[in-house]
Amino acid sequence: MLQTIKKIGVLTSGGDAPGMNAAIRSVVRTCAFHDIKCYGIYRGYQGMIEGDFVEMDARSVKGIINKGGTILKSARSQGFRTKEGRQMAYDRLKKAGIDALVVIGGDGSFTGAMIFNKEFEFPVMGIPGTIDNDIFGTTHTLGYDTALNTVVDVIDKIRDTASSHNRLFFVEVMGRDVGHIALNVGIAGGAEEILIPEEDLGLDRLVESLRRSKKSGKSSSIVVVAEGDKIGKSVFELKDYVDQNMEDYDVRVSVLGHMQRGGPPSCFDRVFASRMGVKAVESLITGKSNYMVGMKNDLIELTPFDQAVKGKSKINKELLRVSDIMSI
Ligand code: F6P
């Protein structure tokens, strides 16, 4: 392999996601395998500005493949949005002799990496880490599979209590801009309705659909709502509307929140993270830069950063139809 790169820095940025530690481990160990020094950068771009680096070797990442969160911590840096901040970060990297960067994060983190690459011609590679699965150019993002399994487990539990009390539950799941989590856990958890930002069902049609469910003999119902859904101002407004229009329903709301981002990564996410870390480091070694590593048809492939950032991640519309049929 062509090798001009001697020191690689790795950081996690934006919202954390299960599997980030497995990705850090993979980057560190792939560096060790190729005799390249590796530096962990704490607190994302903020740590880069402050020079908060630690040298890591293969043993520094022992026992973390199964841990949620990120040992390098994460942050959303305001400083890195400014030219002065990025200059300080560049100076810190140069001083430490770091020649290339692996950024594990979401599209905001990739935009930062892209600008940094353009301004300083600094080699960068991205690993998509977010539970939302909202990045173009990859069928999965790191942490998404784990979050799906976490949420399905919770919905199963909510179903137990919903059916014991003949209640209707609105379960709000994460997904600021996209409905991937809601759509998949809705089908897997047997939800009667799934509300996502991409489709505007409307309050009247929601009530109509719940009436139909009740008439068909269902005593309890679960409606999964993506946090970015636009029907109501909030999931509580949906509850109030249904309360007012369906007096025979006892309605409850469960907002799952940040528990969805925690916990041990699934087998899929651990393997995915390991594969992406290898690809990220080996791509940098062969002189590639400004790409995101991702998965397409079970192959680990590269997508140029500008495409990953500008492109829109789309839901699979077939799932909407499957959900409609399953909830008859
Ligand atoms: O990780 C993505 C995400 O979970 C979004 O779905 C959510 O809106 C957001 O992060 C919340 O993150 P934070 O509370 O860290 O700003």
What atom in ligand 1 is closest to the CA of residue 130? 1
pLDDT in tens, the chain (328 residues): 555 899 999 999 999 999 999 999 999 999 999 999 999 999 999 999 999 999 999 999 999 999 999 999 999 899 999 999 999 999 999 999 999 999 999 999 999 999 999 999 999 999 999 999 999 999 999 999 999 999 999 999 999 999 999 999 999 999 989 999 999 999 999 999 999 999 988 898 899 999 999 889 988 899 999 999 988 779 999 999 999 998 888 999 999 999 999 999 999 999 999 999 999 999 999 999 999 999 999 999 999 999 999 999 999 999 999 999 999 9
Ligand-binding site membership of 130 (annotated): yes
| Helix (H/G/I), strand (E/B), else coil: 270 | helix
pLDDT score at 247: 84
Residue with CA nearest ligand 1 atom 15: 15
Cα 234 from Cα 252, distance rounded (Å): 13
What domains are there in the chain, each with its CATH number?
7-143+265-310 (3.40.50.450), 144-261 (3.40.50.460)
Cα 3 from Cα 8, distance rounded (Å): 12
Active-site residue identified among 132, 134, 145, 269:
132
pLDDT score at 281: 98
Strand-by-strand arrangement of the 193-195 sheet:
193-195, 221-226, 167-173, 250-255
147 CB near ligand 1 (under 6 Å): no
Q: Which amino acid is at 290?
A: N
pLDDT score at 232: 77
pLDDT score at 230: 85
Catalytic: 132?
A: yes
115-154 burial, b at 16+ Cβ within 10 Å, e below that, comes to bbbeebebbbbbbbbbbbbbbbbbebbbbbbbbbbbbbeb
132 CB near ligand 1 (under 6 Å): yes
Nearest CA among 245, 299, 239, 235 for reference residue 272: 299
Name the token pair of 165.
Answer: 């009390």
CB-based contact 253:243 (threshold 8 Å): no
Q: Could you tell which of 174, 196, 235 is best to mutate to test the pocket of ligand 1, judged by most ligand atoms within 8 Å of the CB? A: 174
Cα 101 from Cα 323, distance rounded (Å): 42
CB-based contact 109:103 (threshold 8 Å): yes
Radius of gyration of the chain (CA): 22
What atom in ligand 1 is closest to the CA of residue 131? 1
Distance 129 CA to ligand 1 centre (A): 12
Nearest CA among 65, 89, 67, 68 for reference residue 78: 89
141 CB near ligand 1 (under 6 Å): no
Distance 218 CA to ligand 1 centre (A): 34
pLDDT score at 2: 54
pLDDT score at 3: 55
Distance 131 CA to ligand 1 centre (A): 9
**With the C-alpha atoms ordered 293, 295, 300, 306, is the resulting torsion angle positive or negative?**
negative
